[in-house]
Structure 1
Amino acid sequence: MYKHADPKLWNGRIDDATDEKSFRFHQMVHFKSVDDLPQDKNSFILIGFASDEGVRRNKGRTGASKAPNEIKQMLAKLPYNIGEKETIDAGNIICEGKKLEEAQAELGKSITSIFRSGNTPIILGGGHETLYGHYLGVRDFWEQISHWA
Structure 2
Amino acid sequence: MGQIHQNPETSNWYGRKSNAIEYWHQASISVNDLQFDTNTEKPKVGILGYASEEGVNRNQGRLGTKAGPKAIRNMMGSLAFHLPEQTRVFDYGDVITHNSDMESSHDLISTTVLKLLETNHFPVLLGGGHDLALAHARGVYQYLKSKDEKLGIINLDAHFDLRPLNNGKGHSGSPFFQLAEEFKDDFHYLCLGIQRSVNPKSLFKTAERSNSQWMVMEDFRLNNWEVIQEKILWFLDSKDKIYLTVDMDGFASAYAPGVSAPSPMGFEPDFAFKVFELITKSKKVISMDVVELNPNFDLDHATARLAARCAEYVVRKIFS
TM superposition score category, shorter chain reference: 0.7 to 0.9
One-letter code aligned to 1:7? T
**Corresponding residue of 2:25:** 26
Output one character per residue of 1:40-77: Cα deviation in whole Å (capped at 9) or x when no partner.
Answer: 23301000011110100000001111101111111011
- Cα RMSD of the aligned pairs, angstroms, is 1.5
Report the Cα offset of residue 145 of structure 1: 4.5
Q: Distance in 2 between matches of 1:66 and 1:94?
A: 11
State how many pairs are aligned. Answer: 142
**Corresponding residue of 2:73:** 72
Q: Distance in 2 between matches of 1:62 and 1:80?
A: 32
- 2:104 alignment partner, one of 102, 105, 111: 102
Are 2:62 and 1:61 equivalent residues in the alignment?
A: yes
Report the Cα offset of residue 139 of structure 1: 2.1
**Corresponding residue of 1:87:** 89
One-letter code aligned to 2:28? V
Q: Structure 1 length normalisation: TM-score? A: 0.88
CA contact (8 A) 1:46 1:122 kept: yes
Which 5+ residue runs of structure 1 have no aligned equivalent? none
Report the Cα offset of residue 86 of structure 1: 1.4
Report the Cα offset of residue 102 of structure 1: 0.8
Q: Distance in 1 between matches of 2:14 and 2:80?
A: 12
CA contact (8 A) 2:50 2:94 kept: yes
Q: Distance in 2 between matches of 1:63 and 1:47?
A: 18
Are 2:130 and 1:128 equivalent residues in the alignment?
A: yes
Which 5+ residue runs of structure 2 have no aligned equivalent? 149-320
Report the Cα offset of residue 11 of structure 1: 1.5
Q: Distance in 2 between matches of 1:53 and 1:106?
A: 15
Q: Distance in 1 between matches of 2:62 and 2:47?
A: 25
One-letter code aligned to 2:143? F
Report the Cα offset of residue 110 of structure 1: 0.5
CA contact (8 A) 1:49 1:92 kept: yes
Q: Over alpha carbons, which structure has the higher Rg?
A: 2
Aligned residue for 1:35, secondary structure, equals: coil
Report the Cα offset of residue 36 of structure 1: 2.7
Q: Distance in 2 between matches of 1:66 and 1:122?
A: 17
